[in-house]
C-alpha cells in the first residue's frame, strides 16, 4: 500500500468514527427530547384531569376546606410538588389567613425566634403557629404574589428578601410557585406549591410554571363560583328560615275579629318585610271586659319580630291580673326592660273595652295618639294620654309618666288605632302620606263602620304610595260602637 493510500484509509476511518459518535449523540438527544415531550404531555394530561375533577367537586355539596384541600393537593399531584398551601384574604383585604396547608409543606410565613425555640421541645408549637398565623397582605413571599398580581417562580425561598433576617431561617433549599387568586376584579387569596431541591424532580421548570399559571387561573374561577354557589345556598336557607318565622308570627296575630257585645272591631297588619315589628291583639280579660292592643317595635326584621313576640307573650300573661291598662303596661315594661337593646323600644296602645257600655280605658306607651270619630258632631278627636315607650326606663319614670284615660263612646262613634307606618308611607317624590290625609280618609269612612275604615285607609295609602316600596309596617285597628 502506498503512503497516499494509507493516509486516505486512516482519514476515512477517523471520519467514520466521528460520524458514528455524532449519530450516537444525536440519538441520545432525540431520546432525551422525546422524554421531555412525554413528561410535558403527562404533566398537561394530569392538569386536565385535575381541572375536570375540580369541576366535579364544585358541583357537589362540599365544605370550603374540602375544596381548598382539593386545589392544593391537586396542584401538588400535577406538578410532583412536595406540598402546598392556600391562603385567603380577610374581608378588609389586609391579611392573608391560612385555609389549608398540606402536611409536607414547609413554612411560607415568618417564624418568631421564641416559636423556633419552643419547637425544639415541642414540634407542635411550630405546626400550630404556621397553621394559625395570618400574614399581612403585602408581607413575605405570599404578599409578594398579591403585590405582583401575577404568578411568581422563586428559585430558592430562603434567598427571598423577606427571609434575609434572623426572624426566619430555612435549613433546606426550596423552590416555590405562587399565584394570586383573582375573581370578580379583586384578589381573594394566594396558592403556593413547593419542591425541595434534593427531590427527584429538582427545581420547577419553565413548563411547570406555565402549567401552574394556567391551572391557578382556572382554580381562582372555580373558587369564585363555589363561593357564589355557597352564598346562594346559605341565602336560600336563610330565606326558608325567615319564611318559617313569618308563618309562625302570622299565627300570633288574630285569625278572626272578636265578638264583643256593643262593638264591632276590625284589624289589619301589612308587613314591610317578611318579619313584622308591628302587632295587634285581642285579649279576653273576663266576662265583661276585652283588651285590644296595637304595638310597634323600633327596627326591622328578625330582632324586631322577636321583641314583638316577647311583648305579646308578657302582656297576655299580665293583662288579666292587672288593675288597669297602665298597670299592665308597667309590668310589661319591667319584664322586658332587661332584655331590650339600647337602640330598641316598643310603642304600644292598650285599650280595655267594657262590654256593651261604651266605657273605654286607654293607656298609651309612647304610641301614636288614637283618633276618635264622634258621630254626633261629625268631628275627629285626637286622644293623648301621657305615656313613655316600653324599654326606655326600667320602671320608676315609666310608671310615673304613663297614665290611664277613660273615654265614653256613643253609638256610631269609631276609634282608630294605627302605627306610624300609615302616616310615614311615601310616594315617588318622597312626600309622606301624613296625619291630615289619614284624618280626611277616616272622617269619610267612619260612618260606614270599622271594616270600611280599615279598608279605606289601606287603599288610600296604597294609592298614594303607588309602586314605591314601603320601609315600615302598617297596622290598624278600628273600634266601632254600635
Question: pLDDT digit string (tens) for 19-70?
Answer: 555 556 555 555 555 555 554 555 555 555 665 555 565 556 678 888 888 8
Q: Using pLDDT thresholds of 50, 70 and 90, give the confidence band for residue 14.
A: low
On whether the CB atoms of residues 372 and 322 are closer than 8 A, the answer is no
Residues 6+ apart with CB under 8 A from 84: 72, 73, 75, 76, 101, 102, 105, 191, 192, 193, 194
**DSSP letters along 65-129, please?**
HHHHHHHHHHHHHHTT-SEEEEEEE-TTSSEEEEEEE-TTPPP-S---HHHHHHHHH-THHHHHH
For the entire predicted model, the pTM comes to: 0.61
Give dist(CA 292, CA 311) in Å, integer. Answer: 14
- Local confidence band at 166 (pLDDT 50, 70, 90 cut-offs): very low
Check: CB of residue 289 under 8 Å from CB of residue 269.
no
Mean pLDDT of 176-202: 86
DSSP 152-165: EEES-GGGSGGG-S
Chain center to CA of 156: 41
Render pLDDT for 408-436 as a digit per residue (tens, 0 to 9).
999 999 999 999 999 999 998 989 999 99
Which stretch of 99-108, 166-175, 181-190, 334-343 has the lowest confidence by average pLDDT? 166-175
What backbone torsions phi and psi does residue 24 show, to the nearest 5 degrees? -65, -45
Greater model confidence, 302 or 102: 102
Domain 255-481 has what CATH class?
alpha beta
**Plot region of 301 (φ>0 → left; ψ -120 to 50 → alpha; else → beta):** left
Distances (CA, A) of 266 to 15, 309, 414: 116, 21, 11
Three-state secondary-structure class, residue 59 = coil
What average pLDDT does this structure show over 456-475?
Answer: 89
- Written out in words, the top-level CATH class of the domain with range 31-225 is alpha beta
Domain-wise residue ranges, the chain: 31-225, 255-481
Amino acid at each position: 500500500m502506498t503512503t497516499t493510500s494509507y493516509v486516505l484509509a486512516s482519514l476515512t476511518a477517523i471520519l467514520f468514527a466521528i460520524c458514528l459518535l455524532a449519530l450516537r449523540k444525536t440519538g441520545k438527544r432525540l431520546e432525551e427530547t422525546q422524554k421531555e415531550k412525554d413528561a410535558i404531555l403527562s404533566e398537561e394530561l394530569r392538569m386536565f384531569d385535575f381541572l375536570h375533577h375540580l369541576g366535579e367537586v364544585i358541583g357537589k355539596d362540599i365544605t370550603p376546606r374540602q375544596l381548598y384541600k382539593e386545589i392544593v393537593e391537586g396542584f401538588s399531584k400535577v406538578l410532583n410538588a412536595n406540598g402546598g398551601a392556600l391562603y385567603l384574604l380577610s374581608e378588609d383585604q389586609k391579611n392573608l389567613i391560612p385555609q389549608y396547608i398540606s402536611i409536607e409543606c414547609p413554612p411560607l410565613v415568618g417564624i418568631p425566634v421564641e416559636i423556633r425555640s419552643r419547637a425544639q421541645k415541642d414540634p407542635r408549637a411550630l405546626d400550630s403557629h404556621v397553621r394559625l398565623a395570618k400574614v399581612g397582605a403585602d408581607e413575605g413571599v405570599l404578599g409578594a404574589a398579591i403585590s405582583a398580581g401575577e404568578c411568581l417562580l422563586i428559585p430558592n425561598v430562603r434567598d427571598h428578601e423577606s427571609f434575609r433576617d434572623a426572624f426566619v431561617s430555612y435549613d433546606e433549599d426550596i423552590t416555590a410557585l405562587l399565584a394570586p387568586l383573582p375573581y370578580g376584579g379583586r384578589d381573594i387569596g394566594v396558592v403556593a406549591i413547593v419542591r425541595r431541591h434534593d427531590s427527584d424532580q429538582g427545581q420547577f421548570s419553565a413548563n411547570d410554571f406555565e402549567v401552574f399559571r394556567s391551572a391557578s387561573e382556572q382554580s381562582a374561577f372555580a373558587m369564585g363560583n363555589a363561593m357564589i354557589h355557597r352564598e346562594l345556598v346559605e341565602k336560600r336557607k336563610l330565606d326558608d328560615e325567615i319564611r318559617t318565622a313569618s308563618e309562625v308570627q302570622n299565627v300570633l296575630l288574630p285569625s278572626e275579629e272578636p265578638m264583643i257585645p256593643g262593638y264591632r272591631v276590625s284589624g289589619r297588619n301589612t308587613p314591610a318585610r317578611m318579619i313584622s315589628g308591628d302587632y295587634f291583639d285581642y285579649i279576653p280579660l273576663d266576662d265583661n271586659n276585652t283588651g285590644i292592643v296595637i304595638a310597634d317595635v323600633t327596627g326591622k326584621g328578625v330582632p324586631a319580630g322577636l321583641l314583638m313576640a316577647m311583648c305579646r307573650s308578657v302582656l297576655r300573661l299580665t293583662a288579666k291580673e292587672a288593675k288597669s291598662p297602665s298597670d299592665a303596661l308597667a309590668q310589661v315594661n319591667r319584664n322586658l326592660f332587661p332584655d331590650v337593646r339600647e337602640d330598641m323600644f316598643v310603642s304600644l296602645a292598650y285599650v280595655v273595652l267594657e262590654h256593651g257600655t261604651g266605657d273605654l280605658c286607654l293607656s298609651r306607651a309612647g304610641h301614636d295618639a288614637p283618633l276618635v270619630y264622634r258621630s254626633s258632631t261629625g268631628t275627629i278627636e285626637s286622644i293623648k294620654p301621657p305615656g313613655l315607650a316600653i324599654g326606655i326606663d326600667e320602671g320608676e319614670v315609666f310608671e310615673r309618666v304613663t297614665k290611664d284615660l277613660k273615654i265614653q263612646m256613643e253609638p256610631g262613634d269609631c276609634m282608630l288605632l294605627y302605627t306610624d307606618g300609615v302616616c310615614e308611607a311615601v310616594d315617588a317624590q318622597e312626600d309622606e302620606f301624613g296625619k291630615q290625609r289619614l284624618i280626611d280618609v277616616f272622617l269619610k269612612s267612619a260612618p260606614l263602620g270599622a271594616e270600611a275604615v280599615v279598608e279605606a285607609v289601606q287603599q288610600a295609602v296604597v294609592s298614594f304610595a303607588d309602586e314605591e316600596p314601603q320601609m315600615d309596617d302598617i297596622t290598624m285597628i278600628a273600634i266601632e260602637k254600635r
